[in-house]
Amino acid sequence: MVLKNMKLAVVFMFLLFGTANAFAADEGAATAKQVVEKFQADLIAVMKDGKKLGYAGRYEKLKDPVSNSHELTKIARIVVGKEWEKLSEEQQQKLVDVFSRLSIASYAHNFKDYSGESFVFDSEEETTRGGVVVHSHFVVPGDKPVKFDYMLKEKGTSWRIINIIANGVSDLALKRSEYTTILQREGFDALITKINEKIDNYSKQ
């Protein structure tokens, strides 16, 4: 009897442990597609409440979805190219910080209201260097759909967005040309000032 009970307890514990483990795995190891779709769902949700929330509300609501799905530190690093090595640690930290705020602000500004838009998943594709590209498009009622391709890289157990290509225009390439040009022509402080100006403008409209 005692033995049977113990056996049961062991089986029970095993089951419990097993399921707990499975749950943990589910949460940690979101696939690239899941990361993109979760972010798109969050974005659409904010758009639906967009008018009510106002800019500040949208910014607050998008803060976590953006920073959890995008690899902002790495993006900030890539957009300044080889200039990154020339920045002091303080400057690097400042750049990542300001850049993150700009990313969230531009979402909050550009996706401000809802008129039936939706994201549709098309396909998923592995790249040669271990990344994944998630192809999707953004359906705008009464207008041509916009192609959104997300480039993701694995970070720890999860996937993070490092580039978005909208209708063939790569956000990363665009920003990198801009940022490196400004760094070369005008220097670090000018770059930070300009980014802050953009964030200010976004918040005003």
Among 82, 89, 90, 156, binds another protein (CB under 8 A): 82
Question: CB-based contacts of 40: which residues, under 8 Å, 6+ apart?
Answer: 119, 136
The residue count of the chain comes to 205
33 touching another protein, by CB under 8 A: no
169 touching another protein, by CB under 8 A: yes
| Nearest distance, CB of residue 119 and another protein, angstroms | 13
For another protein, which stretch binds (CB under 8 A), given 1-9, 31-39, 47-55, 73-81?
73-81
Q: CA angle at residue 76 from 136 to 184, to 5 degrees?
A: 120
Q: How far apart are CA 137 and CA 33, in angstroms?
A: 13
| Nearest distance, CB of residue 5 and another protein, angstroms | 56
Judge whether 71 and 158 are in contact, CB under 8 Å: no
Helical ranges in the chain per DSSP H = 2-28, 32-48, 50-69, 72-79, 89-110, 171-185, 188-204
| Nearest distance, CB of residue 48 and another protein, angstroms | 18
Among 194, 199, 200, 203, binds another protein (CB under 8 A): 194
Other CB atoms within 10 Å distance of the CB of residue 71: 20
202 touching another protein, by CB under 8 A: yes
Burial of residue 69, with CB atoms counted within 10 A of its CB: 0-12 exposed, 13-18 middle, 19 or more buried: buried
Judge whether 105 and 202 are in contact, CB under 8 Å: yes
For another protein, which stretch binds (CB under 8 A), given 11-19, 53-61, 92-100, 180-188?
180-188
Q: Residues in contact with another protein, total (CB under 8 A)?
A: 53
Q: Which of residues 101-120 bind another protein (CB under 8 A)?
A: 103, 106-107, 109-110
44 versus 146: smaller Cβ distance to another protein:
146
45 versus 166: smaller Cβ distance to another protein:
166
Judge whether 48 and 61 are in contact, CB under 8 Å: no
List residues binding another protein (CB under 8 A).
Answer: 77-78, 80-82, 84-85, 103, 106-107, 109-110, 125, 127-129, 131, 133, 143-144, 146-147, 149, 151, 153, 162-174, 176-179, 181-182, 184-185, 191, 194-195, 198, 201-202, 205
